[in-house]
Amino acid sequence: MAIVLCIPIAALPPSLQDNVADIDRLKRALSETLGEVTLVAPWRLAGQVAKRFREAGFTGAALINQVEGRCELVDFLPALPALLPAMALDLGTTYLEASLVDLLTGRRLAQAHCPNGQIPFGDDVLTRIHAASRGSGLADLQKAAIASINVLCVRLAEQAGCPTQAIRAMSVSGNPTMVHLFLGLEPYHLCREPYIPLVNAPDTVCAVELGLDINPAAPVFVLPGVGSYFGGDLISGILASGLDQQEETSMLIDVGTNAEVVIGNREWLIACAGAAGPALEGGVARMGMRAGPGAIEHIAIDPASRAVEFQTIDQQPACGLCGSGIIDLVAGLYLAGIIDRRGKFRPGSDPNRLVAHGNGVSYVVVPADQAAAGRAVVLEQVDLDALMRSKAAMYAILSTLISQVGLAFTDLHRIYVAGAFGRHIAPRQAITLGMLPDLPLAVYRPIGNSSLTGAEMVLLDDQARSRCRQIMQNITYVELNVNQEFMLRFSGSKFIPHTNHNLFPSVPVFEW
Amino acid sequence: MAIVLCIPIAALPPSLQDNVADIDRLKRALSETLGEVTLVAPWRLAGQVAKRFREAGFTGAALINQVEGRCELVDFLPALPALLPAMALDLGTTYLEASLVDLLTGRRLAQAHCPNGQIPFGDDVLTRIHAASRGSGLADLQKAAIASINVLCVRLAEQAGCPTQAIRAMSVSGNPTMVHLFLGLEPYHLCREPYIPLVNAPDTVCAVELGLDINPAAPVFVLPGVGSYFGGDLISGILASGLDQQEETSMLIDVGTNAEVVIGNREWLIACAGAAGPALEGGVARMGMRAGPGAIEHIAIDPASRAVEFQTIDQQPACGLCGSGIIDLVAGLYLAGIIDRRGKFRPGSDPNRLVAHGNGVSYVVVPADQAAAGRAVVLEQVDLDALMRSKAAMYAILSTLISQVGLAFTDLHRIYVAGAFGRHIAPRQAITLGMLPDLPLAVYRPIGNSSLTGAEMVLLDDQARSRCRQIMQNITYVELNVNQEFMLRFSGSKFIPHTNHNLFPSVPVFEW
């Protein structure tokens, strides 16, 4: 059942013999459909609902919010509506992605994204947490987030051809800091040992309380988190992958600013989040960018001719590299002998594209005259170094976690790859780099923006909402940053593909 | 269990090994006491509750509102409080009476009353309903009620020596019109056939939403009504009398502006409300007043000497007659031969006190030189006529209802007499008038302001709150105003004690 129900009602009009009050009459009719549940008519809405029920001649459709432990009667329509739009939101630190789904059919009606209006307060969660502790910082950050979300509300409603007031519910999937700031809750302790959120599982809020530009009575369901570094976006990923429902053990990898990993099945779930160093979201490289128009998302280097072929999103002129583009590029550079196993440029290996300058050497991916706005897309040694640390951290996280549960990678049924890794991660290239384990490609399943998918699921299905609670209870969170084993594995992973070549039999090793 | 629970908490502080969020930690600790219930932390309060929980070192007492279908976590105190005050309110059309009870002990802490600030909009419910339909009338009436209630909040808090914010809950018992106006709900249809309230059983409201001067998070529980003429004040009466729990069949009579009567036992309940004509509240007679200081509440006339002896409330100089005083007086006048069986003054029967004037004859109850402010307390023929109609209506209502359920008065185990009948109704005098059936005096049980008592009960005991719902479901409401039998019985009751003297064997009949 969806988070908001639309229930057809045909009640008898009142008479001297049946003088039950309007709201109680409507509740009586609803109890025939809803059965034995607690049904309340919130005071703020009761007068209006009664009026509409009367005006509609006691026949039409009642709207019911399903919130914790009870059903709330929030509106009455003269007839069943054609659509019942609800908004799913992936509330990212850098970007917001949202979609509108129809609660009646499950159909996706619209999609939109925009930057997080909190960016002027700081790029990452730590600077935002600090900003929140100064003066009116917390309120300002909340306002900035709500303003960005309201931009998306308007865009989604326009696309779907409905007023924003027709949006009857919202779900929000984000990391714990984003969730705290969205709700105006003090994030102070999130980044201070022992890293305690104010709340893991916020209860449903009413849209009007947060100033959201959707129907004031809309319930806002926030996906729960598990700890300061493991938020609702990850729970969304588990929902979207179905990890928590499968008999076989699988793994979920979500790479954003942090690398977050879950291993498990329907019996158990183990999770960890590692600060993977500079990671693969927009920002890893000077030319790094989010998967938007003009981002290079796939790139290939001919090992013989060293010719470069690439593909940008929406076929726009190239203006940067998204996560999948950077992985493709660095794997190609390695296979073409332009970088060595340590991820260092080999001067003279590609005279056409390697350019020496004061700081060292850079690789010209797209020359200025072929790139957007006449700005060449370039990869520098510092970008390569950052990627090497990220990929090493990633493999160290994955291998530490799999060893902690006493399994090998080959025991995994699937590896789901989610997050801002680019729209279409190519596992082959990530394996070449030694970032992901050397498993048959069929094991890998890219699941796109699973934070958004999970947010859509909780709107459409109360099973998904109860799965959230179940996941929260079943999951064991492992703190990797305090793990010695992790640091050893990290050092071993700082080569392409790895110091221990036996771990990556499918990757050729060149000794230049 | 009380409507607000205060639950001692001693939670372990968070650590790296136990990184559950503050609110979830508190919920976890509470679930040990509360068991399997839905426990929510309303968004508006979660930040503050978490902060207080942390500041108290994770030890102290949580405050939980018990509302429909769930428990709401609303506050955290560093220690168990000495008192947990809650306010019970009898929201009368003319007067408001309130008390403060301690939810920890059930002890009554304070009591206060004041006129209903809506009186300038109209004396009775009909004129108020009309006023509500004009311009900002509804909002103005609501504001007036809330302002009066807030006066009582301050007085009660002062008496109890606590701030108003320490009042953690409120219950409201009133007729359906008063309840609609209190909640700002359109009362329009209450007085128009088929007389349908907007709501019979309002769901719990939060004090801050209504602008009440108590703790903003306090739940406001409104006692449910059954129909437009049968409100929460009557359900309160049933609670206070215990009518709905006894094996024996009893009767409850509540006399205010209307006469409302319930007959029943734990198996069934039949109710009716009759417009009893000008009734026995302040206003029935020109000298009528509420039971306040200076009101004559008991009066006796020596049949031989015709000397008058009376007793005023608080021993203040007499300024009027409350309900019990008027009944005593008229019964005394009859037994002393000063009025006849039709309730007419007998000129010449008491030359000292009967005074002729333009309009006819008046009876001087207290001469000007003995009365408050030098204004004589006088009973006029019009007052007598009004009382005769009221008492006739009352007996007609009682006898119609008892015959409709196929019983006789002698089948009744108890008759509970409630309402603004004066503080201490004397059933003997009411029987003499033929207002109440001629039964042994032990059958009668005055229960005072049962509207207030019921309001106190629902604060202290969730059993009382579920009894309300049970009563609503079990009660059958009979519309007496449209009953032919009633009109016949009314005519027969217009004599003292009755046209059929056999119904009142204990009352002497004089034929002057």
Laid out side by side, the sheet with A95-102 consists of A108-115, A95-102, A85-91, A170-174, A219-222, A205-206
Q: Could you give the angle at which helices B381-404 and B323-335 cross, rounded to 10 degrees?
A: 100
Q: Name the pLDDT band for A282 (thresholds 50, 70, 90).
A: very low
A49 to chain B: closest CA residue: B198
pLDDT for A422 beyond 60: no
pLDDT band at A254 (very low <50, low <70, confident <90, very high): confident
Helices (H), B220-341: 232-241, 323-335
- Average pLDDT over every residue of A289-311: 91
At A481 the pLDDT is: 62
Q: Considering only residues 141 to 200 of chain B, which have any Cβ-Cβ distance to chain A shorter than 8 Å?
A: 183-186, 189, 193-200
Smallest Cα–Cα separation from B390: which of B423, B446, B436, B332?
Answer: B436
Model confidence at B419: pLDDT above 80: no
Matching residue, tokens 């470069």: A308
Residues of B in contact with A51 (CB under 8 A): 186
> Residue B51 and residue B27: Cα distance in Å, rounded?
14
As beta bridge partners, residue B147 has: none
Q: What is the pLDDT of residue B281?
A: 45
Convert the pLDDT of each residue in A134-175 to its tens digit. Answer: 999 999 999 999 999 999 999 999 999 999 999 999 999 999
A-contacting residues in B 63-102 (Cβ below 8 Å): 68-70
Q: Do B23 and A198 touch (CB under 8 A)?
A: yes
Contact between B492 and B499 (Cβ < 8 Å): yes
- The pLDDT score that the predictor gives to residue B74 is 98
Do the strands B354-357 and B360-366 form a parallel or antiparallel pair, or are they unpaired?
antiparallel
As beta bridge partners, residue A274 has A259
Q: How many CB atoms lie within 10 A of CB B100?
A: 27
Q: Which of B46, B69, B203 sits opposite A199 (nearest CB)?
A: B46
Q: A419-445 as b/e, with b when 16 or more CB fall inside 10 Å?
A: bbbbbbbbbebbbbbbbbbbbeeebbe
Give the closest residue to A259 by CA, choosing from A141, A430, A112. Answer: A430
Task: Compute the nearest-CA separation of B62 from chain A (Å).
Answer: 16
pLDDT number for residue B511: 74
Among B28, A320, A441, A411, smallest CA distance to B10 is for B28
Flag if B42 and A184 touch (Cβ within 8 Å): no
Interface mutation vs chain A, best among B185, B196, B469, most A CBs within 10 Å: B196
The arithmetic mean of pLDDT across residues B270-295, rounded, is 67
- For the cut 60, the answer to whether the pLDDT of residue A285 exceeds it is no
Rounded CA separation A398/B187 (Å):
66
Give the helix/strand (H/E) hosting B365.
strand B360-366
Work out the average pLDDT over A199-223. 98
Contact A22 B227 (CB under 8 A): no
Task: Work out the mean pLDDT of chain B and round it to a whole number.
Answer: 92
- Distance from CA of residue B507 to its chain's centroid? 31
Find residue A65's DSSP bridge partners.
A4, A72
A18, A177, A196: best mutation site toward chain B, by most B Cβ within 10 Å?
A196
Task: Report the pLDDT value the prediction gives residue A179, as an integer from 0 to 100.
Answer: 98
Among chain A residues, the shortest Cα distance to B222 is held by: A43
Nearest residue of B to residue A200 by CA position? B21
> What is the nearest CA distance from B183 to chain A, expressed in angstroms?
8
Across the interface, whether the CB atoms of B46 and A194 are under 8 A apart is answered no
Angle separating helix axes B450-460 and B462-474, nearest 10 degrees: 120
pLDDT digits (tens, 9 = 90+) for A405-420: 999 999 999 999 987 6
Give the model confidence (pLDDT) of A356-375 as tens digits.
Answer: 988 789 999 999 999 999 99
Q: Do A23 and B199 touch (CB under 8 A)?
A: yes
| CA B142 from centroid of its chain's CA atoms | 19
Nearest to B21 among A50, A68, A197 (CB): A197
Query: Is the Cβ pair B203, A40 closer than 8 Å?
Result: yes
- The yes-or-no verdict on residue A250 having pLDDT over 80 is yes
* Nearest chain A CA: its distance from B169 CA (Å): 16
Q: Is B35 left (phi over 0), alpha (psi -120 to 50) or beta?
A: left
pLDDT band of A482, cuts 50, 70, 90: low
User: Any chain B CB within 8 A of the CB of A21?
Assistant: yes
pLDDT tens, B241-274? 999 999 999 999 987 667 789 999 999 999 987 7
* Interchain CB contact of B16 with A (< 8 Å): yes
Q: What is the pLDDT of residue A257?
A: 64
The nearest alpha carbon in chain B to A231 belongs to B21
Q: Any bridge partners for residue B476, and if so which?
A: B270
Contact predicate A52/A75, CB 8 Å: yes
Chain B's closest residue to A138, CA to CA, is B47
Yes or no, beta carbons of B43 and A19 under 8 Å apart: no
Residues 6+ apart with CB under 8 A from A296: A310, A311, A312, A318, A320, A321, A322, A325, A329, A365, A366, A377
Going by pLDDT thresholds of 50, 70 and 90, the confidence category of residue B283 is very low
Average pLDDT on A250-257 reads: 84
Q: In this structure, which long-range contacts are made by residues A190-196, counting pairs with CB atoms below 8 Å and at least 24 apart in sequence? A: A190/A125, A190/A129, A190/A228, A191/A125, A191/A126, A191/A129, A191/A228, A193/B16, A194/B14, A194/B15, A194/B16, A194/B19, A195/A227, A195/A228, A195/A229, A195/B16, A195/B19, A196/A228, A196/B14, A196/B19, A196/B20, A196/B21, A196/B22
Residue A464, classed as helix, strand or coil, is: helix
- Which uninterrupted H or E stretch holds A191? none
Q: With an 8 Å Cβ cutoff, are A20 and B201 in contact?
A: no
Residues B82, B107: Cα–Cα separation, whole Å: 12
Cβ contacts of B51 on chain A, cutoff 8 Å: 186
**Residue B286: predicted pLDDT:** 61
Closest CA to B171 of B218, B234, B138, B211: B218
Q: A233 CB contacts (<8 Å, ≥6 apart)?
A: A90, A92, A173, A174, A175, A223, A254, A256, A451, A454
Q: Which residue has the tokens 């070449």?
A: A432
How sure is the predictor about B360, in pLDDT bands with cuts at 50, 70 and 90?
A: confident
Q: How confident is the model at residue A260 (pLDDT cuts 50, 70, 90)?
A: confident
Search chain A and give the residue with CA nearest B186: A47
Least confident residue range of A261-265, A421-425, B423-427: A421-425
**pLDDT tier at A120 (50, 70, 90 boundaries)?**
very high
- Judge contact between B37 and B17, C-beta under 8 A: no
DSSP state of B3: S
Tokens of A497: 């593909």
Q: Over 90: is that where the pLDDT of B137 sits?
A: yes
CB contact under 8 Å between B22 and A183, yes or no, is no
**pLDDT above 90: residue A275:** no
Residues B228, A185: C-beta atoms closer than 8 Å? no
Look at residue B285 and give its three-state secondary structure: coil
List the one residue out of A296, A283, A254, A285 whose CA is nearest residue A271.
Answer: A254
Nearest-Cα residue of chain A relative to residue B200: A21
3-state secondary structure of B326: helix
Among B110-114, B214-218, B227-231, B275-279, name the one with the lowest average pLDDT: B275-279
Quick one: pLDDT at residue B279? 43
More reliable by pLDDT, A292 or A505 = A505
Q: Side chain identity at B294, as an amino acid letter? A: G
Check: CB of residue A30 under 8 Å from CB of residue A73: yes
Least confident of A302-306, B158-162, B269-273: B269-273
Q: Confirm if A95 and A113 have CB atoms less than 8 A apart.
A: yes
pLDDT in tens, B431-485: 999 999 999 999 999 898 999 999 999 999 999 999 999 999 899 988 776 678 8
Q: Comparing C-alpha atoms, which of A257, A217, A223, A258 is closest to residue A239?
A: A223
Does the distance separating the beta carbons of B41 and A194 come in below 8 Å? Answer: no
Average pLDDT over residues B169-191: 97
Handedness of CA A404, A407, A410, A413 (dihedral sign): negative
Alpha-carbon distance of B378 to B406, in angstroms, equals: 42
Nearest-by-Cβ selection for A47 from B42, B198, B205: B198
- Per-residue pLDDT averaged across B44-60, rounded? 97
Give the A window 474-493 contacts with B, CB below 8 Å: 477, 479, 482
Q: Inform me whether the pLDDT recorded for B176 exceeds 70.
A: yes
d(CA B207, CA B72): 14
Cα-based angle A212, A215, A216 (whole degrees, multiple of 5):
70
Chain A closest-CA separation from residue B19 CA (Å): 6
- The alpha carbon of residue B134 is apart from the nearest alpha carbon of chain A, in Å, by 17
Bond from prior residue into B194 cis (ω within 30 degrees of 0): yes
Give the DSSP H/E element, type plus range, for residue B161.
none
Please report residues of A whose CB lies closer than 8 A to that of B19.
Answer: 194-196, 227-228, 477
Confidence band for A390, pLDDT divided at 50, 70 and 90:
confident
**Which pTM value belongs to this model?**
0.91
Chain A residues near residue B14 by CB distance under 8 angstroms: 194, 196
Phi/psi of residue A352, each to 5°?
A: -65, -30
Q: Do B194 and A15 lie within an 8 Å CB cutoff?
A: yes
Residue of A nearest to B67 (CA): A40
Q: What is the distance in angstroms between the Cα of B363 and the nearest Cα belonging to chain A?
A: 44
